[in-house]
Structure 1
Amino acid sequence: MSKTTNFDLEHGSAIATRAARGIKGAIAIVLASTGLLFLMLAAGVMGSSRSAPITRVDARSGPFVTAYGNTIQQLEYGLTPESVAATSDGGYFALALTDSPSGVGVNWILKLSASGRPQWQREIGCASGAPGDYGLGVSAQQTSDGGYILGGGILGCHGLYIQRALVEKLDPQGRVVWAVAYPAGPHGSAITQIKQTTDGGYIAVGSATDPNLYLGALILKLDGAGTVQWQRELGPIGSTLAFFNAVQQTSDGGYVAIGESSVVGGSFPYPTSVLVASFDPSGNVRWQQGFNNVDNQGSPSSYTHALSGIQTSDGGYLVVGNWSNSPGGPFPQEDSGGALLLKLGSSGNIEWQKAYNGGIYCYFNGYDTTCVLITALPYSVHQTADGGYVLAGLGNLELLDSVPQVPWLAKVDSGGNLLWQYFYYDTYPTTGRPISQYFASSAPTNDG
């Protein structure tokens, strides 16, 4: 994959005040210290207030930036943000993983009003299990009945210590309606994304582990009650392993799944390739494609990751992630990696590809000079009304003595050319330095 576009990462202010052109609104959750930093971006000036824990949030209207923490008996527990969605009442729904006093990992869900005021919160999982047990949700969406669907994995919880794929259906108040664990692989399985389908059921993707502990890319079609209608796996085959990170129902009722594959052998880490597969409504594979740089022998030679993707308005697909020619080293080269966009046609053929980085940046860290490749990592992508795309993830900020990772938002046109990018970050009051954060999830708001 040749580098076709460079981007210069800007030195941003503490909070960007220009809105994203081409979108009326977007929401995102950010990892910030031990809490959730929730951003609502809209056309106009973005607010900059923060508050934690959630009992201290003040009501406000319009754009906001607010931090939320999970506090139990005056002790704040760490959070890992996973997913965010706009809700039909104009509010928002956020999903995170949290610790508990018993040492069991559980899901923490938070429902917010349109102004960011918490309406309710719940912990869901095997809260009475032994330390080390967990129920984790990494994907969430509001369903057509006003409730919510969560996908992830579960370990222990008074059962076998083999991780199983987990789906939980919640009512509009966050109470569990049903929960099903799926032993999709003999040595484990997990869901990385779940979405409701037009028939009222669900499509989920992730991975299943075989007896040799190799991963196969897993896709599950469920009915509205969580019963499996069909299940498919791509791999593992021999020493080739694979997994899916994202899925979307396509306009013809089928599905496109996006993930990664790699061949185990040689030196670790093993080169990884982008994997894109198309399925018909019954789960039959229409086509599958792999993308990577190759060496003189035709073998994959780079480390390419696909984290998200969408079907585009022209019937094709856009895949986002990053790539590198090496797993890392002390002497980076300007053409050695960057953020990655792959635009595919309806049959999976490449229409265009773009890789973006900001070149090499060298700084003195207090002991010696360090040089790094300035780049970004998009976690999600959304198409805008003008045919372009908005990317959300993390990017490198250039400081005199470090290169912290901070939330990054960028817009490209329909051909993948960079139009603008912004950083959104908070600072330590005493030093003025940015707090290391990242966009963990993003979604368009109901107003577009």
Structure 2
Amino acid sequence: MRRESILAFILLTCALATVAGAAAVDLSVVWNKTYGKPGANDSAYSIIQIPGDRGYVFSGETESFGAGEADAWVVDLSRSGDERWNRTYGDRGMDTARSVINTSDGNYLFVGAFTYIMGEDRKDTDVLVVKFSPTGDIIWNETFGGPEDNATAYAVAETADRGYIVAGKTAFWGEPDTDALVIKLNRSGSEEWSRTFGEPGLNDTAYAVVAAPSGDIGIAGSTESFGAFAADAFVQKIDSSGNETWNVTFGGAENDTARSIVLAPDGGFVFAGSYMSRTASGRTDDDALVVRMRPDGKVAWNWTYGNADENESAESIIATRDGGYLFAGRTGESPLDNDAWIVKLDGEGAVEGDLTIGGRNPGDRAASVIQTTASEYVFAGTFNSTKKGGTPDTDAWVVKLATKPKTVIKPPAKPPKPPNVCPGQCPPPTPKPPVTQKPQTGSIGDLVWNDTNKNGIQDKGENGIKGVGVELLGSDGKTVVKQTKTDSRGTYLFSGLQPGEYYIEF
């Protein structure tokens, strides 16, 4: 097993400006809509596109609908964001749907948490996995955990064998520390194997998972057990049987985490999350973190993104069709006072464009993002709709975005010269001397031919004569000014002649 730590001083920082050499794009809102009832708290955590561009499905949790404190929630939307149906899944406790995916058989699957009410003073949370049809009907559902454990799933991916890999966390009931949890399911939802990792008394969580066509699996999250400092971001590569290939941690002296992971073109991974630093005054500052990793776990590049006076986080990252990346998350003056934030990157992590969107209340954020066409994206998250003086009210939030190349005005090739500045009154300009005009010159030339009929006209068949000596005489008819011979066509030419009177002699 190999573990590495990347410390703060080698992380590259990118402020909110496009990097030289990166293409520039404008991001704009096509439409944005919220879902939920007034006075209730609702959130969207994950979104997918329905195959064939027939709309979207998001998953989350709702207090507006359902039977319990909060229920797992799935909503089907049209391409314009209008609700077509919504379903809740749960019982009396707090239940949630954290991640939803398309399955290869044309259905959908979500993972999250289901809470059992064990008594007045005891609740038990298990991993919840539900496979459902395009109309929201349950095909099968399973829970994983037990009465002595509290477990939650945050992410799921379909594997090469058409099973599923689930990532989350687990803890013994009543214990504060958590272990990262990975569960492999077959296509029917039965467990094939599970793995946990973490040290007693410390917290570890797997927030994201991605499955490669080769069968390899990437897990990303946060660890206190294996990092260098408080909590570090980690990425673990395992094979299809759950055996670890490598495990790498990233971070500085504060708390860092990985929230999302995707495949890179070379078979490596790109993950996104947050990196925390501490200012000279002692205040902590979060920046969004994106790291590109090679297949062997070595770092290809890593960047942080943000401003010194704000807190940023990347909650979801995708590989875009143009070979770059786009992440969605939050930005604001504090972790609680924030807006949704979308940032487009090129293939090397340079910023191509970004967009901040939110309302007047704190707490708006983007949790999941997808690309729907070559130039359009959709993100899902949470919007704070609380009225002034009213009860807390958050809604699920879905926003469609469009991108287009940004028009860049090029500066002139040479900047204009500044005007002369004189103390007091400037002296009159010195007049330029008059320009002496050069005399115009002329040329004299003609053709020497064999005038067989002696009519003075070159008739057909009367060709030029080569090599005839020609003299240019001055105005006196005697002085030779220039000499030449006719060329192969019988022509001659005297050029560069000053104005005057000349004679030609053969």
Decide: shared fold, TM above 0.5. yes
Amino acid at match of 1:392: A
Match of 1:121 among 138, 141, 146: 141
Indicate how the Cα distance of structure 1 residues 128 and 5 shifts in structure 2: closer, same or farther if over 3 A, else same: closer
Indicate how the Cα distance of structure 1 residues 91 and 400 shifts in structure 2: closer, same or farther if over 3 A, else same: same
Would you say the 8 A contact 1:195–1:203 is kept in 2? yes
Would you say the 8 A contact 1:29–1:36 is kept in 2? yes
Amino acid at match of 1:355: T
Would you say the 8 A contact 1:166–1:182 is kept in 2? yes
Alpha-carbon distance, 1:44 to partner: 7.9
Instruction: Give 1:41's aligned residue.
Output: 77
Work out whether 1:84 is the aligned partner of 2:100: yes
Structure 1 residue runs of 5 or longer lacking an equivalent are: 48-62, 71-75, 295-300, 330-336, 361-371, 418-448
| In structure 1, C-alpha distance between the alignment counterparts of 2:381 and 2:35, rounded to whole Å | 18
| In structure 2, C-alpha distance between the alignment counterparts of 1:165 and 1:192, rounded to whole Å | 9
Alpha-carbon distance, 1:67 to partner: 2.0
Alpha-carbon distance, 1:172 to partner: 1.8
| In structure 1, C-alpha distance between the alignment counterparts of 2:326 and 2:81, rounded to whole Å | 30
Alpha-carbon distance, 1:269 to partner: 6.6
Higher mean displacement: 272-281 or 22-31: 22-31
Amino acid at match of 2:328: V
Higher mean displacement: 243-252 or 207-216: 207-216
RMSD: 3.4
Work out whether 1:280 is the aligned partner of 2:283: no
Alpha-carbon distance, 1:24 to partner: 2.3
Indicate how the Cα distance of structure 1 residues 284 and 89 shifts in structure 2: closer, same or farther if over 3 A, else same: same
Alpha-carbon distance, 1:413 to partner: 1.3
Instruction: Give 1:446's aligned residue.
Output: none
Amino acid at match of 2:216: G
| In structure 2, C-alpha distance between the alignment counterparts of 1:231 and 1:271, rounded to whole Å | 26
Would you say the 8 A contact 2:34–2:396 is kept in 1? no
Instruction: Give 1:230's aligned residue.
Output: 246
Alpha-carbon distance, 1:104 to partner: 2.4
| Corresponding residue SS for 1:258 | strand
Match of 1:394 among 360, 382, 388: 382
Work out whether 1:68 is the aligned partner of 2:89: yes
| Corresponding residue SS for 2:77 | strand
Alpha-carbon distance, 1:397 to partner: 3.7
Would you say the 8 A contact 1:186–1:209 is kept in 2? no
Would you say the 8 A contact 1:185–1:208 is kept in 2? no
Amino acid at match of 1:165: A
| In structure 2, C-alpha distance between the alignment counterparts of 1:227 and 1:108, rounded to whole Å | 24
Instruction: Give 1:427's aligned residue.
Output: none
Higher mean displacement: 217-226 or 85-94: 85-94
Instruction: Give 1:109's aligned residue.
Output: 129
Match of 2:150 among 119, 128, 134: 134
Would you say the 8 A contact 2:97–2:111 is kept in 1? yes
Amino acid at match of 1:409: V
Work out whether 1:316 is the aligned partner of 2:334: no
Would you say the 8 A contact 2:166–2:182 is kept in 1? yes
Amino acid at match of 1:255: F
Instruction: Give 1:429's aligned residue.
Output: none
Instruction: Give 2:116's aligned residue.
Output: 100
Indicate how the Cα distance of structure 1 residues 340 and 45 shifts in structure 2: closer, same or farther if over 3 A, else same: closer
Would you say the 8 A contact 1:289–1:348 is kept in 2? yes
Under a length normalisation based on structure 1, what TM-score does the superposition of the two structures give? Answer: 0.71
Indicate how the Cα distance of structure 1 residues 105 and 10 shifts in structure 2: closer, same or farther if over 3 A, else same: closer
CA shift digits 1:243-293 (9 cap, x unpaired): 100000012212111010112577787210111100011110011101121
Work out whether 1:177 is the aligned partner of 2:192: yes
Indicate how the Cα distance of structure 1 residues 205 and 186 shifts in structure 2: closer, same or farther if over 3 A, else same: farther
Match of 2:255 among 232, 241, 246: 241
Alpha-carbon distance, 1:178 to partner: 0.5
Would you say the 8 A contact 1:86–1:92 is kept in 2? yes
Would you say the 8 A contact 1:304–1:324 is kept in 2? yes
Amino acid at match of 2:182: V
Indicate how the Cα distance of structure 1 residues 170 and 264 shifts in structure 2: closer, same or farther if over 3 A, else same: same
Would you say the 8 A contact 1:9–1:397 is kept in 2? no
| In structure 1, C-alpha distance between the alignment counterparts of 2:27 and 2:386, rounded to whole Å | 19
Indicate how the Cα distance of structure 1 residues 350 and 289 shifts in structure 2: closer, same or farther if over 3 A, else same: same
Report sequence identity in percent. 23
Instruction: Give 2:54's aligned residue.
Output: 24
| In structure 1, C-alpha distance between the alignment counterparts of 2:260 and 2:250, rounded to whole Å | 14
Alpha-carbon distance, 1:181 to partner: 0.9
Amino acid at match of 2:327: V
Indicate how the Cα distance of structure 1 residues 385 and 212 shifts in structure 2: closer, same or farther if over 3 A, else same: closer
Work out whether 1:188 is the aligned partner of 2:209: no
| In structure 1, C-alpha distance between the alignment counterparts of 2:249 and 2:34, rounded to whole Å | 44
Indicate how the Cα distance of structure 1 residues 12 and 156 shifts in structure 2: closer, same or farther if over 3 A, else same: closer
Instruction: Give 1:385's aligned residue.
Output: 373
Instruction: Give 1:412's aligned residue.
Output: 401
Amino acid at match of 1:406: D
User: Pairwise mapping of residues 306-385 of structure 1 onto structure 2 (< 5 A)?
Assistant: 306-326=314-334, 338-358=339-359, 360=360, 372=361, 376-385=364-373
Number of aligned pairs?
Answer: 360
Alpha-carbon distance, 1:169 to partner: 0.6
Would you say the 8 A contact 2:90–2:114 is kept in 1? no
Alpha-carbon distance, 1:354 to partner: 2.0
| Corresponding residue SS for 2:403 | coil
Alpha-carbon distance, 1:145 to partner: 2.3
| In structure 1, C-alpha distance between the alignment counterparts of 2:342 and 2:131, rounded to whole Å | 33
| In structure 1, C-alpha distance between the alignment counterparts of 2:109 and 2:284, rounded to whole Å | 37
CA shift digits 1:327-371 (9 cap, x unpaired): 568xxxxxxx5321111121111122222234x4xxxxxxxxxxx
| In structure 2, C-alpha distance between the alignment counterparts of 1:396 and 1:341, rounded to whole Å | 18
| In structure 1, C-alpha distance between the alignment counterparts of 2:233 and 2:386, rounded to whole Å | 37
CA shift digits 1:3-53 (9 cap, x unpaired): 9989799787989xxxx9994222111311221221122348956xxxxxx
Structure 2 residue runs of 5 or longer lacking an equivalent are: 1-14, 18-25, 38-48, 64-69, 407-506
Under a length normalisation based on structure 2, what TM-score does the superposition of the two structures give? Answer: 0.64
Would you say the 8 A contact 1:308–1:319 is kept in 2? yes
Indicate how the Cα distance of structure 1 residues 233 and 112 shifts in structure 2: closer, same or farther if over 3 A, else same: same
Structure with max Cα Rg: 2
Would you say the 8 A contact 2:311–2:331 is kept in 1? yes
Indicate how the Cα distance of structure 1 residues 256 and 2 shifts in structure 2: closer, same or farther if over 3 A, else same: closer
Indicate how the Cα distance of structure 1 residues 416 and 116 shifts in structure 2: closer, same or farther if over 3 A, else same: farther
Work out whether 1:292 is the aligned partner of 2:328: no
| In structure 2, C-alpha distance between the alignment counterparts of 1:145 and 1:273, rounded to whole Å | 37
Indicate how the Cα distance of structure 1 residues 405 and 8 shifts in structure 2: closer, same or farther if over 3 A, else same: farther
Alpha-carbon distance, 1:309 to partner: 1.0
